[in-house]
Structure 1
Amino acid sequence: MITGIATILLVLLLLLLLALARHGRGVPGGLPPGPKPLPLLGNLLQLESGRMDRALMELSARWGPVFTVWLGPRPAVVLCGYAALRDALVLQADTFSGRGAMPVFERFTRGNGIVCSNGPRWHKLRNFAIGALREFGLGRRSIEERILEEATCLLGEFRATKGAPLDPRRLLDNAVSNVICSVVFGNRYGYEDAEFMRLLDLFLDNFHIMSSRWGEMYNLFPSLMDWLPGPHHQLFRNFTELQGFISEQIQRHRETRQSGEPRDFIDCFLDQMDKEQDHPDTHFLEETLVMTTHNLFFGGTETTSTTLRYGLLILLKHPEVAGKVQAELDEVVGRTRTPSLADRQHLPYTNAVLHEIQRFISVLPLGLPRAVTRDTHLQGYSLPKGTFVIPLLASAHRDISQFKDPERFNPNNFLDEGRFQSKDAFMPFAPGKRMCLGAGLARSEIFLFFTTILQRFRLCPVGSLAGIDLTPQCTGLGNVPPNFQLRLLER
């Protein structure tokens, strides 16, 4: 019986003869060179499923830090290494601020929301969202209080396990998601709430599918994949269900809100819709609110939760590192009060470990694609307006010129004679104008959740240390950690 992937490849190969007649092409004028593409397939066979970031870094060893690959019929310029990423995303931030089209998102968002929009719509929505999120605590002490309240609930759930083996995924998802829920929806959900658990399962399922070969294939050949069977169709069923949930939340807000007295992000957006209801070119429409809310909710949940989960696995593998963090916490914070963000500057080793976790896992290894907003030059090559760009963020974290022994987990990458030292090559949230809106929130959550857990619990493996494998389940949109269990014993 032919598998789904085999069916896809068979259909593609059957189309190869037609493609040969159409694709006798080289690299478009001015674009950097790269490996020779096959007709229709492009460089697909060189981009091994489950390790696309590594495959691109291997190609960079031959073709340099800026090179072209073909994603099926579409050319993409890859930025590999800290210097290339800095030259483009930082030094030419405006020029590289466009969002490259990803069919898996385009079909759902139709270019709406913050993540996938471009031009005036993106500028307007981003500026509005930054202001609204600040109003409800991001960047202020109030968001720290919300995180710590949720951390207290999480510790209670951990304590209730009484040291029994636990898969921490769902509880971490719940805790992280509740923080952004309080800002966007104005409330948190109980950890046993069936509707909330279903919502988190939908986000996780989509993150897994988009990080799999099926998600990759859909972005390469959307028209073909639309009529081929496979799990990629579940993406859009999940998106529809998520859209329904968000629409229900918006309707509840409409029924209970007081105009001009916003309680959360949705109320703020509805107020702006009222102000601009007579503007023919307004970007504040209900479908935009649905997509923007989805972007904030997904961005504020999945990547942070994945970082926490992967971080716990790394600390299980390296108990000596966890022990040093706990010793530092005991000395600086003690065990009678909860850690706070103000403690960060006094916890150099802890800070270094948390940065090293993020560097080592590179939770979004390829970054989200960019598009060049105007004709430009980069490292001697001409990139015309609209060029699709892959900012290979994981390559900055693996850059031997920036980090000592980058393939190994080593907190000393962020320590200088015992003092914490961050680095420009540390890019977990993508630099430049497209930096994640929730980057500050994510940093606060990662610090506060990790420190409160390690202050109160010892992390104990289920099985031997040698049996702990840090290899991702798959690597695509994200680095998905392997499933694991641990035991949390009170200190």
Structure 2
Amino acid sequence: MGTWAFLIALLVALLILRFLGQLWSQRHFPPGPLSLPVIGGLWRIVTMLNENILIELAKQYGNICTLWLGHLPLVLLSGYEAVKEGVIDHAEKLSDRPSTPFYTSLGKGRGIALSNGHTWKQQRRFAVVTMRKLGLGKKGMEHQIEEEAQQLVEIFACAKGQPLDPSLPITNAVANVICAVTFGHRYSLEDEKFQKLIEAVNSAIKFVGGIFHVLYEMFPSILKHLPGPHKKVITVSHLVLSYAKEEIKKHKEQLSFHEPQDFMDFYLLQMEKNKNDPNSTFDEENLAYSIQDFFVAGTESTATTLRWALVLLTNHPDIQDKVHKEIEDVFASSQSISYQDLKKVPYTNAVIHEIQRSNYAFFFGAPRQCSEDVKLGGFLLPKGTLVIPDLRSVLLDPKQWETPKEFNPNHFLDKDGNFVTRKEFLPFGAGTRVCLAEQLARIELFIFLIKLLRAFRFQLPEGVKKLSQDPVMGLTFQPPPYKICAVPHSSSS
């Protein structure tokens, strides 16, 4: 009995020593929840899980704090000043994406969103230039977006003012814009392949940032051998890549890249030009992963913002009516819409910005990884440290916004009703990793909302007093499922 007691006491002493050693090794990191053996600070997340959890952590531990996921330190930047210091003032040092087990298995270091170093720089530079060639901000691209917006108007019109769920039609319309940009054609909404593509993208979005994602990063050697949603995400990722590779094959067979019309054409032409360059990263694998990046990053965020737009405008009919009046006063009988017209409708512009600010589509900003040692807020973060810029906290920062918790378009208007640009408006991120599709998303939001609000007045179904604005948590913050009535304007063109 004495021997067992001694062994148990020895084991407890060793565990205590290991725990104290762990705390000592973590002393240079910013403060945060107590890191327990094995689970780190995960206990804190579980006990206070809600949409404001990261903001609440910052209130308790500071605008730069550390959440330990097992042995993995995750440094959170909260509020405008901390996020600015990280992603703008130290943009180059925080330019890498995480090389964690899940991100590595998902991205393989290829494409744009999850690549680093030479591959990332070459792929991103090419994508930026090519988006300009495709006419981002010009009539060519805008015409394709306007066509999708008109399709959406016609789908809504079929409901004849009766309650409808706009979620799937909106997602399909936005996804078809990405198809037009990357493949050069749109899919029929009934196309089985197209629906599977949308489902695959949705599955990936729902997984990232969830508890199973966190557990996979903490215990990859165990979870990679077990069934679970992490396996499904890798499978659907392969599905998106296989669709991209099918389109690559078609484009090569048609030799369409000699007269490029879409992103894939331009990429294949670049491959041809660089085939003898040993430093080139232009190959079919990087192209397929870049297409995957476009779909994952470019579909859900814009679609979610549009869904929130209809919730907010339906709940605030006075604001909706004011936007509609401004649109009608400016565009009158004009059939075509140009993104340049945004300057003519300052109130509408302010409303679009406020929708993005008040109901930011993501739980937090895309994660970064220190490419070298960096000093933030007086703390030295070693190379390889994961950093999360909490963009939602920036958009709700009470030090920057007059009424951060309210839907208030006046945040973007001066006393004379002119639109005001705000440096604190960072829904697309900032620095070297600013969203590649920012301009595309801005054009989509403008054209889709103008077309919809010219055609319909969005109203609550009979018996419904207000649409819920409590978000459904995930990587994206979705509005709860809802139905609205799209009542045609008698004067709509």
Q: TM-score, normalised by structure 1?
A: 0.91
Contact in 1 for aligned 2:468/2:479 (Cα 8 Å) = no
Aligned position for 2:349: 351
Aligned position for 1:306: 304
Aligned position for 1:9: none
Distance in 2 separating the partners of 1:259 and 1:338? 30
Which letter does structure 2 place at the counterpart of 1:442?
Answer: A
Deviation at 1:227, TM superposition (A): 3.4
Distance in 2 separating the partners of 1:340 and 1:136? 16
Alignment of structure 1 residues 318-337 onto 2, 5 Å: 318-334=316-332, 336-337=334-335
* Structure 2 residue corresponding to 1:397, chosen from 389, 395, 398: 395
Contact in 1 for aligned 2:69/2:214 (Cα 8 Å) = no
Aligned position for 1:62: 60
| Aligned CA-pair RMSD | 2.3
Partner SS for 1:177: helix
* Structure 1 residue corresponding to 2:78, chosen from 77, 80, 103: 80
Give CA deviations for 1:58-98 in whole Å, capped at 9, x if unaligned: 12112211111112320011111000111121122112211
Deviation at 1:245, TM superposition (A): 1.1
Q: In the superposition, relative to structure 1, how do residues 86 and 230 fare at CA in structure 2: closer, same or farther (>3 Å)?
A: same
Aligned position for 1:469: 468
Distance in 1 separating the partners of 2:238 and 2:426? 32
Partner SS for 2:67: strand
Distance in 2 separating the partners of 1:17 and 1:450? 64
Distance in 2 separating the partners of 1:56 and 1:179? 33
Aligned position for 2:429: 430
- Residue 11 (structure 2) pairs with residue 25 (structure 1): no
* Structure 1 residue corresponding to 2:163, chosen from 162, 165, 171: 165
Partner SS for 1:419: coil
Distance in 1 separating the partners of 2:13 and 2:152? 57
Contact in 1 for aligned 2:51/2:471 (Cα 8 Å) = no
Contact in 1 for aligned 2:33/2:66 (Cα 8 Å) = yes
Distance in 2 separating the partners of 1:50 and 1:195? 40
Aligned position for 1:7: none
Contact in 2 for aligned 1:69/1:76 (Cα 8 Å) = yes
Partner SS for 1:39: coil
Distance in 2 separating the partners of 1:328 and 1:267? 40
Q: In the superposition, relative to structure 1, how do residues 103 and 422 fare at CA in structure 2: closer, same or farther (>3 Å)?
A: farther
Pick which of 277-286 and 167-176 moved more: 277-286
Pick which of 435-444 and 382-391 moved more: 382-391
Contact in 2 for aligned 1:276/1:282 (Cα 8 Å) = yes
Alignment of structure 1 residues 361-400 onto 2, 5 Å: 361-400=359-398
Distance in 2 separating the partners of 1:198 and 1:182? 17
Q: In the superposition, relative to structure 1, how do residues 258 and 468 fare at CA in structure 2: closer, same or farther (>3 Å)?
A: closer
Partner SS for 1:364: coil
Contact in 2 for aligned 1:53/1:392 (Cα 8 Å) = no
Which residues of structure 2 form unaligned runs of 5+? Answer: 1-11
* Structure 1 residue corresponding to 2:483, chosen from 472, 476, 485: 485
Contact in 2 for aligned 1:273/1:285 (Cα 8 Å) = yes
* Structure 2 residue corresponding to 1:206, chosen from 182, 204, 210: 204
Which letter does structure 1 place at the counterpart of 2:423?
Answer: D
Q: In the superposition, relative to structure 1, how do residues 470 and 217 fare at CA in structure 2: closer, same or farther (>3 Å)?
A: farther
Contact in 2 for aligned 1:352/1:414 (Cα 8 Å) = yes
Deviation at 1:229, TM superposition (A): 3.6
* Structure 2 residue corresponding to 1:246, chosen from 238, 244, 247: 244
Which residues of structure 1 form unaligned runs of 5+? Answer: 1-15
Q: In the superposition, relative to structure 1, how do residues 219 and 137 fare at CA in structure 2: closer, same or farther (>3 Å)?
A: farther
Give CA deviations for 1:236-270 in whole Å, capped at 9, x if unaligned: 22112212111111111111114533232112222
The number of equivalent residue pairs is: 475
Contact in 1 for aligned 2:88/2:431 (Cα 8 Å) = yes
Aligned position for 2:132: 134
Partner SS for 1:124: helix
Deviation at 1:183, TM superposition (A): 1.6
Contact in 2 for aligned 1:360/1:409 (Cα 8 Å) = yes
Alignment of structure 1 residues 93-112 onto 2, 5 Å: 93-112=91-110
- Residue 406 (structure 2) pairs with residue 408 (structure 1): yes
Runs of 4+ off more than 4 Å:
16-23, 49-53
Deviation at 1:467, TM superposition (A): 4.6
* Structure 2 residue corresponding to 1:266, chosen from 250, 264, 267: 264
Q: In the superposition, relative to structure 1, how do residues 225 and 316 fare at CA in structure 2: closer, same or farther (>3 Å)?
A: farther
Partner SS for 1:114: coil
Deviation at 1:382, TM superposition (A): 1.2
Distance in 1 separating the partners of 2:275 and 2:47? 47
Deviation at 1:334, TM superposition (A): 2.5
Give CA deviations for 1:332-373 in whole Å, capped at 9, x if unaligned: 223553443222112122111111110111112311111122
Q: TM-score, normalised by structure 2?
A: 0.91
Deviation at 1:399, TM superposition (A): 0.5
Deviation at 1:271, TM superposition (A): 2.0
Greater C-alpha radius of gyration: 2
